[in-house]
Amino acid sequence: MVNAPTPSLTRHDTSSGPSAVILMLHGGKPRSHDVVDGRSASWQRSAWMARAITGRAAEAGAAVWLLRYRERGWNGGRDRFADARWALDEVRATHGGAPVILLGHSMGARVAVHVADDASVTGVVGLAPWWSNEDPVRTLQGRGLIAAHGRRDRITSFAHTRRFVERARADGARAELVDMGLLGHYMLGRPDRWNDVAIESCLRMLALATND
């Protein structure tokens, strides 16, 4: 009998106990039951970013963890929510009540807003997010949301992201949109800028949460 796939975590911890955790959620496909392995382009893109931002995160006392889902597809979302909530439980088991920022690309940003009601989560950063009118904003009440989207994205919609940010702001989130200009979806053009926006947004959100 073939063993069912399980989620896993790549952990970039600080030398001492971190004061916060940035939990990264990678992208995927609308439907796929393929196992996420090291060849997955969506996982690789987030892994590259994790390595790029870990130094700056550590300087601020934050660890960077990257979740690998069981399967590549959204597939209705339920299993991806379970993967993300498992990862949040792992953060608590390791680092107690450390605040968590969810950093998601594409489908990962969609997963993030569904699990942002977790007690540890203080905010969400979405990069080229895949959001729709069906996705909740109530989970973001009292939390921060920063979305970064390029206008040359042909996979997900800048306009949909702007509307989601407006909905979240109207529902009580500290929400803002970062216009990435003429950049596309996969973060291959100007990866340095995507990395900067990602880590600066996460650290700014953590600072706001600490000062609340």
pLDDT digits (tens, 9 = 90+) for 121-152: 999 999 999 999 999 999 999 999 999 999 99
Distance of CA 101 to the CA centre of its chain: 8
Average pLDDT of span 18-33: 96
Residues 6+ apart with CB under 8 A from 72: 28, 29, 32, 33, 34, 35, 36, 40, 42
Q: How many CB atoms lie within 10 A of CB 90?
A: 18
Number of structural domains, the chain? 1
Domain holding 162: CATH number? Answer: 3.40.50.1820
Q: What domain range is 117 assigned to?
A: 8-211
pLDDT at 76 over 80: yes
Task: Examine residue 1 and state whether it is found in any structural domain, yes or no.
Answer: no
Mean confidence (pLDDT) of the chain: 95
pTM listed for this prediction: 0.96
Task: Examine residue 3 and state whether it is found in any structural domain, yes or no.
Answer: no
Task: Examine residue 46 and state whether it is found in any structural domain, yes or no.
Answer: yes
CA distances from 50 to 22, 117, 160 (A): 9, 24, 26
pLDDT at 183 over 60: yes
Task: Examine residue 2 and state whether it is found in any structural domain, yes or no.
Answer: no
